[in-house]
């Protein structure tokens, strides 16, 4: 695959993924009042309270967060991520304009809300998964979660969960508790769809990746600069050549594996990668070691109390 073809494939993933995500929002989640977290969830709440177009809301909310991410983390939030944000906003507005804001189901039938939660979740999971595979993202609360994780003891995953939980809780007050429960169904389906159907990343939260490449230095710099991750250099020797072969070992969250693969391919299409499940990851950027230690101590204490 040439570099030009590779970039065209990335563009295809971003465009198709943004369109599918917009379909899920405009045709199912928004008409059903299912605010399943993220910037799209806030946009849905804004539409049903002040009648602000969901696509425009996504753009207004996402771009400042994107710029804040660039200011704090640097250029890792590059053109591709901005493209994903803009395309999602534009597609959502276009679909709303063409299909209307009432969706495609009859919401006088209560079953339609459940169908919207499922259908919207599948479409958004497929869409977000394709965008992530390109190494980009659709912006929004994942940037906010990373900022919270940087300046607090919370991990990125915990921060994202808390941000989305607040949005879903707000929807419970604005719409109803039932709608918030439907939103949790959508969140679950989005996660499962991304992991199992599109990205095939499995069920764990992170991956351990070993990379062998003659362009090790360039790949190292991109991992540090674009992903904001570190790693460890292991030293070994090739069985066939007998030459020393440094190996990059790094641990990345599932949603960054696509970006890491793109980095390696960009610098060395003949590189060798081994991807393994990381059962548990403790330390900076993941679950704090102190938190895990306290949880383990609590488990031991509970077991001791149960002994006769």
Contact yes or no for 254/208 (Cβ under 8 A): no
Q: Sign of the CA dihedral 128, 133, 138, 143?
A: positive
What is the pLDDT, as a whole number, of residue 294?
58
Q: Can you give the length of the chain in residues?
A: 308
What is the pLDDT, as a whole number, of residue 256?
77
pLDDT tens over the chain, length 308 residues: 566 776 788 888 889 999 999 999 999 999 999 998 889 999 999 999 999 999 999 999 988 888 877 777 666 556 677 888 889 999 999 999 999 999 999 988 889 999 999 999 999 989 888 887 776 677 677 677 767 767 777 666 567 778 888 999 999 999 999 999 999 999 889 888 877 766 555 445 678 899 998 888 889 988 887 777 788 888 888 777 777 888 999 988 776 787 788 888 888 888 889 888 776 666 666 666 666 565 554 444 454 445 44
The DSSP code for 256 is G
The DSSP code for 254 is G
What is the pLDDT, as a whole number, of residue 50?
95
Query: Strand pairing of 232-237 and 244-253?
Result: antiparallel
Residue 177 to residue 193: CA distance in whole angstroms: 25
What is the pLDDT, as a whole number, of residue 260?
86
H-assigned helices in the chain: 3-23, 30-32, 38-50, 54-73, 79-99, 111-133, 141-151, 156-174, 177-192, 216-222, 257-267, 289-306
What is the pLDDT, as a whole number, of residue 303?
46
Residue 215 to residue 117: CA distance in whole angstroms: 45
Q: How many CA atoms lie within 13 A of 29 on its CB side?
A: 40
Q: Which CATH number fits domain 206-292: 3.30.70.1400, 3.40.930.10, 3.40.1190.20, 3.30.70.120?
A: 3.30.70.120
What are the domain boundaries of the chain?
3-201, 206-292
What is the pLDDT, as a whole number, of residue 21?
93
């Amino acid at each position: 695959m040439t570099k030009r073809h590779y970039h065209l494939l990335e563009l295809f993933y971003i465009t198709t993924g943004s369109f599918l995500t917009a379909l899920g929002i405009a045709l199912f989640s928004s008409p059903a009042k299912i605010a399943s977290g993220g910037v799209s969830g806030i946009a849905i709440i804004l539409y049903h309270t002040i009648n602000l177009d969901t696509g425009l809301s996504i753009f207004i909310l996402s771009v400042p967060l994107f710029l804040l991410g660039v200011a704090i983390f640097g250029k890792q939030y590059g053109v591709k991520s901005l493209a994903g944000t803009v395309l999602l906003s534009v597609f959502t507005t276009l679909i709303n304009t063409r299909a209307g804001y009432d969706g495609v189901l009859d919401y006088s039938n209560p079953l339609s809300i459940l169908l919207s939660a499922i259908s919207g979740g599948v479409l958004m999971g497929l869409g977000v998964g394709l965008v992530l595979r390109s190494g980009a993202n659709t912006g929004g609360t994942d940037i906010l979660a990373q900022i919270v994780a940087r300046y607090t003891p919370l991990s990125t995953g915990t921060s994202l969960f808390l941000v989305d939980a607040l949005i879903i809780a707000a929807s419970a007050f604005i719409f109803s508790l039932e709608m918030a429960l439907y939103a949790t169904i959508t969140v679950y389906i989005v996660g499962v769809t991304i992991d199992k159907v599109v990205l095939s990343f499995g069920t764990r939260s992170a991956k351990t990746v070993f990379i062998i490449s003659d362009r090790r230095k360039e790949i190292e710099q991109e991992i540090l600069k674009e992903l904001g991750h570190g790693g460890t250099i292991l030293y070994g020797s090739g069985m066939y050549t007998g030459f020393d072969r440094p190996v990059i070992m790094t641990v990345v969250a599932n949603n960054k594996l696509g970006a890491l693969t793109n980095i390696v391919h960009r610098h060395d299409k003949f590189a060798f990668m081994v991807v393994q499940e990381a059962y548990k990851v403790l330390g900076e950027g993941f679950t704090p070691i102190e938190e895990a230690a306290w949880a383990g101590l609590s488990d031991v204490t509970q077991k001791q109390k149960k002994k006769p």
